[in-house]
């Protein structure tokens, strides 16, 4: 089955630690995205990548880093510089070249900082 | 840049009653419009989209949305809801001209269907 997988589903970390969230897709999509979801705020874009070895900052990139070494993988690192990292993180992907941007989402990772 | 306003954060509704979720957007350019649904602790699923053509679009599970260009709205409706429609619904827009593959989301509307 084609889709997007995110792991782990739940993640706990202590303050001051970096943590990496995994996102893998087998849809052969060129573009991948990371969003942060907080109650009552909808989804906010952290980073996105339209091609391997290239990525752009979204609206709330501070305290986060990404890499795109493979087409199917787009890991997100939440660094200790992120002031309020507890949130639900969603990864998405889409085709590049379509006239419109329909994004497909993974199941999410819920990060809790203790 | 676009912005999306979902006018209701919470919508309680009884089973088999109709529901309407309101979405307004602001944009200086033409847009594509989407509704996504999120069930508890899951990712988002595309419910329906407006790209061009008929301003009324429908999903396979009974939802419909109408694009109104003059009012910059894309309200979502269902004439008779089921318990299984309990979820959070997000309206989203993307820039038709610029097409930088970025979606702008509203804050979401939580629909709770009661028996």
Confidence of residue A39 (pLDDT cuts 50, 70, 90): confident
Residue B46 has a pLDDT of 94
Q: What string of pLDDT tens digits covers the 115 residues of chain B?
A: 678 999 999 999 999 999 999 999 998 778 889 999 999 888 999 999 998 889 999 998 899 999 999 999 999 999 999 999 999 999 999 887 665 677 889 999 999 999 9
Q: What is the average per-residue pLDDT within A46-67?
A: 95
Q: Can you tell me which residue has the tokens 């969003």?
A: A35
CB contact under 8 A, A4 and B43: yes
% of chain A beyond a pLDDT of 70: 96
Task: Give yes or no for residue A110 having a pLDDT over 90.
Answer: yes
Q: Does B7 touch chain A (CB under 8 A)?
A: no
Q: Does B98 touch chain A (CB under 8 A)?
A: no
Residue A42 has a pLDDT of 87
Residue A99 has a pLDDT of 67
SS3 B83: helix
Residue A22 is encoded by which pair of tokens?
């995994």
Task: Give yes or no for residue A96 having a pLDDT over 70.
Answer: yes
The torsion of the CA quartet B33, A102, B106, A35, rounded to 10 degrees, works out to: -160
SS3 B109: strand
SS3 A31: strand
Best mutation target, B102, B104, B110, to test chain A (most A CBs within 10 A): B102
Buried residues in A2-21 as b, exposed as e (16+ CB within 10 A): eebebeeeebebeeeeebeb
**From the list A31, A92, A100, which residue is nearest B32 (CB)?**
A100
Q: What is the average per-residue pLDDT within A52-70?
A: 95
Q: What is the average per-residue pLDDT within A85-114?
A: 89
CA distance A61 to A79: 11
Inter-CA distances, A3 with A25, A29, B44, B100, Å: 6, 10, 13, 23
Residue A114 is encoded by which pair of tokens?
């203790």
Residues of chain A positioned with their CB less than 8 A from the CB of B43: 4, 6, 90, 92, 105-108
Residue A114 has a pLDDT of 86
Of A24-33, A87-96, B88-97, the poorest mean pLDDT is in B88-97
Confidence of residue A70 (pLDDT cuts 50, 70, 90): very high
SS3 A41: coil
Confidence of residue A60 (pLDDT cuts 50, 70, 90): very high
First to last CA, chain A: 36
CA distance A29 to B107: 27
């Amino acid at each position: 089955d084609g889709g997007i997988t995110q792991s782990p589903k739940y993640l706990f970390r202590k303050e001051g630690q970096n943590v990496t969230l995994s996102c893998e897709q087998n849809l052969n999509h060129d573009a991948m995205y990371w969003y942060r979801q907080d109650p009552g705020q909808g989804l906010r874009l952290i980073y996105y990548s339209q091609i391997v070895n290239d990525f752009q900052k979204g609206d709330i990139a501070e305290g986060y880093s990404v890499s795109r070494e493979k087409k199917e993988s787009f890991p997100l690192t939440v660094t200790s510089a992120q002031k309020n990292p507890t949130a639900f993180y969603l990864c998405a992907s889409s085709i590049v070249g379509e006239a419109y941007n329909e994004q497909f989402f993974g199941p999410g990772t819920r990060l809790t900082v203790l | 840049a676009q912005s999306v306003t979902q006018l209701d954060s919470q919508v309680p509704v009884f089973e088999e009653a109709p529901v309407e979720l309101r979405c307004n957007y602001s944009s200086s350019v033409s847009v594509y419009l989407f509704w996504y649904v999120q069930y508890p602790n899951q990712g988002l699923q595309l419910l329906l989209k407006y790209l061009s053509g008929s301003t009324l679009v429908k999903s396979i599970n009974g939802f419909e949305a109408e694009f109104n260009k003059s009012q910059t709205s894309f309200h979502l409706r269902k004439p008779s809801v089921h318990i299984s429609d309990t979820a959070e619904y997000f309206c989203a827009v993307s820039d038709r001209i610029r097409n930088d593959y970025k979606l702008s989301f509203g804050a979401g509307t939580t629909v709770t269907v009661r028996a």
